[in-house]
A and B are shown apart, each in its own frame.
Chain A
Amino acid sequence: MWTWFHQLGSPKWFYELTGRWLPWLVAAMSLLLLVGIVWALLFVPPDYQQGNTIRIMYIHVPFASISLAFFPLMAIAGTVTLVWKIKLADMIAKTAAPLGAWFTALALASGSIWGSDIWGTWWIWDGRLTSMLLQLFLLIGVISLRSALEDTDAAAKACAVLSIVGCINVFVIKYSVDWWNTLHQPASPITTSGEGPNGPEIWVPLVIMIFAIYLFFAVALILSTRNEILQRERRAQWVQDLVRTA
Chain B
Amino acid sequence: MVERIDSRPRSSTTTTAFVATLKRELILAYKRKHDVVNPFMFFLIVATLFPIGISPEPERLSLIAAGALWIAALLASLLAMDNLYRADYEDGSLEQMLLSPQPLYFMVLAKNIGHWLVSGLPVVLVSPLIAYMLSLPEGSYMTLFLTLLMGTPVLSLLGSIGVALTVGLGSRGLILAVITLPMSVPVLIAGTMAVTETQNGASLAGYLAIMGALLLGTLTLAPLASAAALRISVS
Contacts and interface: CB of A to CB of B under 8 A. Distances in A.
Contact of B172 (A134, A148, A179): A148
29 contacts: A137-B178, A141-B175, A141-B178, A144-B175, A145-B166, A145-B175, A148-B172, A148-B175, A149-B168, A149-B169, A154-B235, A158-B165, A161-B228, A161-B229, A161-B232, A162-B161, A162-B179, A165-B183, A166-B183, A172-B186, A173-B182, A173-B185, A176-B186, A177-B185, A179-B189, A180-B189, A180-B193, A183-B193, A183-B197
B225 interface: yes
Q: Give the interface centre of B165, B172, B181, B221 by most chain A CB atoms within 10 Å.
A: B165
A161 B165 contact: yes
- Interface residues of A, dominant DSSP: helix
Interface string A159-182: 001101110110011011101100
Contacts of B165: 145, 158, 161-162
A85 interface: no
Contacts of B168: 149, 154
A237 to B, nearest CB: 29
Nearest to A159: B165
Interface of B: 161, 165-166, 168-169, 172, 175, 178-179, 181-183, 185-186, 189-190, 193, 197, 214, 221, 225, 228-229, 232-233, 235
Contacts of A169: 182-183, 186
Contacts of A157: 232
Nearest to B177: A141
- Interface residues of B, dominant DSSP: helix
A169 B183 CA distance: 6
Given A161-B225, A161-B229, A169-B186, 15 more contacts: A82-B228, A140-B178, A144-B175, A144-B178, A145-B175, A149-B168, A158-B165, A161-B161, A162-B165, A165-B161, A165-B183, A165-B225, A173-B182, A180-B193, A183-B197
Contacts of B183: 138, 165-166, 169, 173
Question: Which A-B residue pairs are the 5 nearest by beta carbons?
Answer: A176-B186, A141-B179, A157-B232, A137-B182, A141-B178
Contacts of A82: 228
Nearest to B222: A165
Q: Give the interface centre of B175, B178, B183 by most chain A CB atoms within 10 Å.
A: B183
A161 B190 CA distance: 25
A139 to B, nearest CB: 10
Interface in A170-220: 172-173, 175-177, 179-180, 183
Contacts of A149: 168-169
B172 A176 contact: no
A157 B233 CA distance: 9
Contacts of B175: 141, 144-145, 148
A138 B107 CA distance: 27
A177 B168 CA distance: 33
Contacts of B214: 172
Contacts of B161: 161-162, 165
Contacts of A165: 161, 183, 225
A145 B232 CA distance: 13
Contacts of A164: 225
A43 to B, nearest CB: 41
A138 B186 CA distance: 14
Contacts of B166: 145, 148
A145 B189 CA distance: 26
Contacts of B172: 148
Interface string A8-35: 0000000000000000000000000000
A35 B64 CA distance: 51
Nearest to B171: A148
A60 to B, nearest CB: 23
A143 B182 CA distance: 14
Contacts of A137: 178, 181-182
A82 B166 CA distance: 18
Q: Give the interface centre of A145, A158, A164, A165 by most chain B CB atoms within 10 Å.
A: A165
A183 B232 CA distance: 41
Contacts of B197: 183
A137 to B, nearest CB: 4
Contacts of B190: 176
